[in-house]
Amino acid sequence: MNVFVTGGAGYIGSICTEELLNAGHSVTVYDNLTEGHRSAVDPRATFVFAEPEVEGNILNAVRQAKPDAIMHFAASAQVGESMTNPKKYFHNNLVNALKLADAAVECGVKKFVFSSTCATYGPPDRMPMTEDLPQRPISPYGEAKLMFEKVLVWYQQLYQLDFIAFRYFNAAGASETFGEHHRIETHLIPNVLMVALGQKTHCEIFGTDYPTPDGTCIRDYIHIRDLAQAHMLGLQPGKSGFYNLGNGDGYSVRQVIDTCEKITGKKIPTVEKPRRAGDPPRLVASAGKAITELGWKPKFPKLEDIVSTAWAWHVKHPNGYPD
Ligand code: UDP
């Protein structure tokens, strides 16, 4: 298949691009490199650098690539930042996504695979979380993703644009070649590993008074390569729907730090901080729907394996990508 990948220079997009190419698909990566890195774009892909804000850029790129499918990873992805700069999130994650969906319709694209998020649910009233839970996001990040999910439902119904929206839980880990490097790192695992590398003195724990056994937030970590496999299955024709992607195991911030200490053999000093705005206490997926309906089989469900691959990448690339 010919696949148009937005955000293919970013963490998740780069590894999905790699897996698509390994599986024999051809890929055009579209990225403005605000979050991504040029050297994270697989050299086998065609690269288009263009600002999505400029009228016509997205449509022209899709028109030229003539893709069978679009995978839309490009997004602003910090829950905390979305609470202080909501405008950025509604523009980038909703308005730019809408331009892409319009281009998909205009160019007769058959499938739209969208990176949604468990943040669309807000604090859930039962666990593990299934796709039919009410969606009550508590951050502009979650809200903008939910708004675009609704666009996809209408576009499928009225323009016959099939879509698969994956609601990611916490993507982590690395492939042998590509890994996680954000210019400003906010995510837990890479931050802890930067302490292990001696690049930071300590790791901050945001909130120790949550209603969880050790008082810190619980998340469901999923290996980036398992996530990429799900995207490949999302290309199957004739299917549309929403799917959670997680392992069904919840780990607290303290448990993640302990696992990182075990894998790296380094002591991780921590400093307790107040809660971060917009963080629900516990998010754990039921991915039963992806398993039964898409045939998804996670290969690296253990947190140890997820952290080991992330650590191997960080040791090999202590300063991340060069650009
Ligand atoms: N977290 C933390 N210290 C950090 C980064 C994150 O305590 O340096 C916490 C954060 O508050 C959340 C969990 O770790 O409860 C996972 O955060 P992350 O940013 O990795 O992913 P999110 O769940 O926000 O998508």
Q: Give pLDDT, residue 278.
A: 79
Q: Give pLDDT, residue 323.
A: 77
Instruction: Inform me whether the pLDDT recorded for 17 exceeds 80.
Output: yes
Give tens-digit pLDDT for 45-89. Answer: 999 999 999 999 999 999 999 999 999 999 999 988 999 999 999
Per DSSP, 131 falls in state T
Instruction: Inform me whether the pLDDT recorded for 277 exceeds 90.
Output: no
| Residue the block writes with tokens 């199957």 | 236
Share of the chain above pLDDT 70, in %: 100
Tell me how far apart the alpha carbons of residues 44 and 144 are, in angstroms, rounded to a whole number.
32
Rounded to two decimals, what is the model's pTM? 0.96
Residue numbers annotated as active site: 141
Q: Which two tokens stand for residue 241?
A: 């729907």
Q: How far is the CA of 188 from the centre of ligand 1 (A)?
A: 5
Give tens-digit pLDDT for 186-224. Answer: 999 999 999 999 999 999 999 999 999 999 999 999 999
Tell me how far apart the alpha carbons of residues 225 and 299 are, in angstroms, rounded to a whole number.
8
**167 in Cβ contact with 245 (< 8 Å):** yes
Residue located nearest, by CA, to atom 25 of ligand 1:
170
**248 in Cβ contact with 128 (< 8 Å):** yes
Give tens-digit pLDDT for 150-175. Answer: 999 999 999 999 999 999 999 999 99
Q: How far is the CA of 308 from the centre of ligand 1 (A)?
A: 19
Q: Measured between alpha carbons, how far apart are the two ends of the chain, in Å?
A: 30
Q: How many CB atoms lie within 10 A of CB 287?
A: 28
Q: Is the CB of 82 under 6 A from ligand 1?
A: no
Going by pLDDT thresholds of 50, 70 and 90, the confidence category of residue 280 is confident
Q: Is the CB of 191 under 6 A from ligand 1?
A: yes
**66 in Cβ contact with 26 (< 8 Å):** no
Peptide bond just before 211 cis, omega within 30 deg: no
Give tens-digit pLDDT for 250-272. Answer: 999 999 999 999 999 999 999 99
Tell me how far apart the alpha carbons of residues 218 and 227 are, in angstroms, rounded to a whole number.
19
Write down all domains in the chain, each with its CATH number in brackets: 2-171+221-244 (3.40.50.720), 173-219+249-316 (3.90.25.10)
Q: Give pLDDT, residue 279.
A: 85
Computed over every residue of the chain, the mean pLDDT equals 97
Share of the chain above pLDDT 90, in %: 96
Residue located nearest, by CA, to atom 6 of ligand 1:
188
Q: Give pLDDT, residue 175.
A: 98
